[in-house]
Structure 1
Amino acid sequence: MTAISSHSIAWGDTLSHIAQRAGSTVDALMALNPHITDPDVIYAGTSLRLGGGEGASAADSTSTAIGTRSVAGTDALARGGNAASIAQQFLGTHVGELKHSGQLPMQTWVPDNVNCANFVSACLQQAGVIDASQGSASVDQLAGNLKGDGWQTVSLQDARAGDVVLMQRDGQSHVVLFAGFENGQPRFIGSNNVNSDGTQSISWGGASGRYEIITPPR
């Protein structure tokens, strides 16, 4: 029987799991695939050389990263597009500054006190999980778009970092990202009303009371 010489990377794959299934090691796979410089970051849709046969192609620059790296400060894998780890890069940033910085595809017209959906949409777009047509500055519209595209409700135990957390709070809609667990407790990150003037900054928290977690099609 001819050994499989390559593997097409899929969502949820990790280099260690691929190595185990192939009877290899992470170091051996990295040696065969020099385009992989970080064993915790591989790319969905690219081909991984397992040994023998023709060499696999290098990672396509348009491929979507699988975030197998743990979100800093959590013990959960940042799968599901790595939107949570993207969000974490902006912790403490005032949303008014962020939306005009060009670092994320945020809509600049949104008032500084209601940017939760604007921020979550931008992180999902930046991660390659959704395109611009699926994002929205409206929580209800974003939820409708995602559910219409097959996102499904999951339990907290089955949630992945980067999943979207929807809630009603004080009669208003709010949305943040699930960012894994720390010391057994769930962590959330988003654009929250934490400033004394009622405007938003990127912070931990934002989920309280009853909430719904939705995840992309798996």
Structure 2
Amino acid sequence: MKKTFILTGTIISSLLAGQTAFASNYTVQKGDSLWAISKKYNTTVETLKQMNHFTSDRIFPGQILKVDEREDTYVAKAGDTLSKIAKQFNTSVDALLKRNPEISNPNFIKAGQTIRLSESSPAPVRPVTTKSGTNGYYIVKERDTLSGIAKMFNTTVRSLLALNPEITNPNLIRAGQSIKVTGEKAPVPSSSQRVSQRTLVSAASTTSSESTTKAVNSSLADRVIQIGEKYLGAKYLYGASPSRTDAFDCSSFTMRVFSEAGISLPRTSAAQSQVGTPVSFNQLQKGDLVFFDTDFDGTINHVGIYAGNGQMLNASTSKGVSYTSINSSYWKERYVKAVRVM
């Protein structure tokens, strides 16, 4: 009886190995170990740990592991090019452009940018913005151009530049940027007023620009929180694939939410902490990313979205996607930094 059981188990294992040999992810089963999984996929324990950012050999049933170097996404490094990445993952530049429509210039990618390598990777969902914009303003979406926006609003690039003097290069606008599309230019001071009013006009222009930017950022932040709230109650799963919406770990949750708002983030919390603009704790605004070191080992391992009033929207191990106070003793003593990506 014992020999029959061993033979049957071997046959079943062989069949399972045949079914999963070409998958990039593997769901841990009861009794699995990193050593057994590494043998099944012809790799090493150390390689599996590196691919999954593990610091120990501990795994648990239901956990999703990356078992193939051909990942769904790739975070660009300094010096990377799209052709280099295509060669590395045995694909083509055209295929990568198709899977990453936000890349308008194949010769320009930046360090920290997330490149989708397969059709299963989540594509960014553009924010819902009406043609009329918000109070005469239009929020730039991925792949927008100033000439395209001008056509959309039956105007000219020159008129848009006049309405938006902060745009110094008409060929360089970014997703999330607010562009004034209706209204009149500010009145030009008379020659006798220009010298005396130059400083005041400059200050007023700066204040107006800052106010507009804050209003737009606030609107986008509300959108981010709205997207995040639709996943409230989703369970926590360490190493969850970014394509899943029923389960998240902390960084797959933030990556998914910001992706749906048209903003690309790297996959891990440590990598996400390196993008955007750092902000101090007392300057936190809704939509900022907040980072923590829960193990007190000097390594960032948790990220959440600041939602205002001391609240954070995050995927935690104990409650899944939920709200929590960053001013609680637990989170406050583990807080490391915050960044603004909008």
Q: Greater CA radius of gyration, 1 or 2?
A: 2
**TM-score normalised according to structure 2 size:** 0.33
Q: TM-score, normalised by structure 1?
A: 0.49
By percentage of residues, which structure has more strand? Answer: 1
Task: Decide which structure has greater helix share.
Answer: 2
